[in-house]
Amino acid sequence: MAIQRSRILSAALLAGCALGYAGAVSGAGFAIIEHSAKGLGAAFSGGAASAEDTSTVWFNPAGMTQLDGTQIDAASHIIVPSSDFTNEGSVINPAVPGVGGTPLPGRDSKDPGVAALVPNFYYVRELRPNLKFGLGVNAPFGLKTNYSQNWVGRYHALTSDLKTFNINPGLAYKFDNGFSLGFGVSAQYAKARLTNAIDKSTACLGAAPGAVCNAFGLVTPATPTTDGYIDLKDADDWSYGYNVGALYEFSPRTRVGVHWRSKISHELEGKAEFTNTADLAGLFGGGRFTNQTFSAKATMPESLSVSGFHQINPKVAVMGDFTWTRWNRFDELVINFDGGHPQNVTPENWNNSIRVSGGVSYAYNDRLTLGGGLAYDEEPIPDATRRTPRIPGDDRTWVAVGASYQRSDKLSLDVGYTHLFVGDVPINNTEVNTGHVLIGEYDADVNIFSAQVNYRFR
């Protein structure tokens, strides 16, 4: 049995490592909150208090004291975003002589969001009657958008790709008075890639006389046939954080949980590759528009959750959750180049955000339990001027349904489906390097499908 258990644990960990780099975004900002199929089916409404499966390692480690024996869960979530952009008057930098304020050439964009597979794995075992150990492997942050090279916002963004992989061991202890405490640490890997087009004419006209730019063939701004490109790639880093939680049982039917997850600060370092920019490199010199290394800071924000769970009767339970996330740490995106290219600073000025959810579960019979939930997920992006095509998010309304099937005493299965209503998302963003203004609207929504296998060894 010990050998079998070790093999199952090793296989699940390898699966998590292999799949943990899928990039998507369905929560506010660039958060991924899909960490349990059972939780998804109730819109994650009881996150820090439900403690119905081993995903409590992530949502509140104190909840491990509610679980018996040794258990593992493995889940996969397919996130399918839909986001069509319609241009509504994007213009060339108004300060460019002769053509400033005229329409920015380029096409609309259909579905720049990329569907992604997001896995998670959790393991909990009893060390002593009141002491539990758990391990979680998941992807808590990520995003991926891809635009064509001829779309109107190509100077703002082409590819944006953030992937994270998080390993979170934890311990929980239950006191005799119904109070439990939990603590965990996170080792988190982050990798990012950003690309966009370079308007070489605007770059030239901003620093040299028109006659000089004409000599280099750089006269008409925003010309797709003469665009250069920058690819900021292979930027990665390991960093560390922690999480603490508490759970109090008022009775066997009612409990409240509180969970704090710390920020994790990354120092990303990667390569900047420039394409079709030899003319600019020759014009400016000093290492500008040439291949070099770069660095950037990225902070995954801290969060606080307060949740409640109440079993009304043997068949019906209700849940609720309030989560606050400190997104105001993302005030700007700063990229420092090591070979002479100027620093790139993009203002963000995000706000802190909240997420409120409620859910219910119904035991249809001894084997089948049905669930559902609603949630309001507030977007931290303050307004259309700070919204960028890299993260064109807005407030989300969640509608979720799910089901759990107890196949045997040891094996159970969970499935969940959620639709996120996002609606019309306006953007009126000025790109910091070119001054071109992207004006338009995204029509967005998200569908999420989840499945989970739960196994209890004893």
Give yes or no for a contact between 392 and 446, defined as CB atoms under 8 angstroms apart: no
**pLDDT tens per residue across all 458 residues of the chain:** 343 444 333 333 433 443 334 445 566 789 999 999 999 999 999 999 999 999 999 999 999 999 999 999 999 999 998 889 999 999 999 988 788 899 999 999 887 777 889 999 999 999 998 999 999 999 999 988 999 999 999 999 999 999 999 999 999 999 999 999 999 999 999 999 999 999 998 888 877 777 778 877 787 888 888 899 999 999 999 999 999 999 999 999 999 999 999 999 999 999 999 999 999 998 888 999 999 999 999 999 999 999 999 999 999 999 999 999 999 999 989 999 999 999 999 889 999 999 999 999 999 999 999 999 999 999 999 999 999 999 988 999 999 999 999 999 999 999 999 999 998 999 999 999 999 999 999 999 999 999 999 999 97
Strands (E), 378-436: 396-406, 411-430
Q: Whose CA is closest to 126, among 65, 51, 182?
A: 65
Partnered with residue 245 across adjacent β-strands are: 182, 259
Q: How far is Cα 278 from Cα 284, in angstroms, rounded to an integer? A: 10
Does residue 61 sit in helix, strand or coil? Answer: helix
Give yes or no for a contact between 362 and 338, defined as CB atoms under 8 angstroms apart: no
Does residue 158 sit in helix, strand or coil? Answer: coil
User: Looking at the domain 2-456, which fold is it?
Assistant: Porin (2.40.160)
Q: How far is Cα 445 from Cα 443, in angstroms, rounded to an integer? A: 7
Q: How far is CA 8 from CA 14, 119, 223, 288, 413, in A?
A: 10, 16, 56, 52, 17
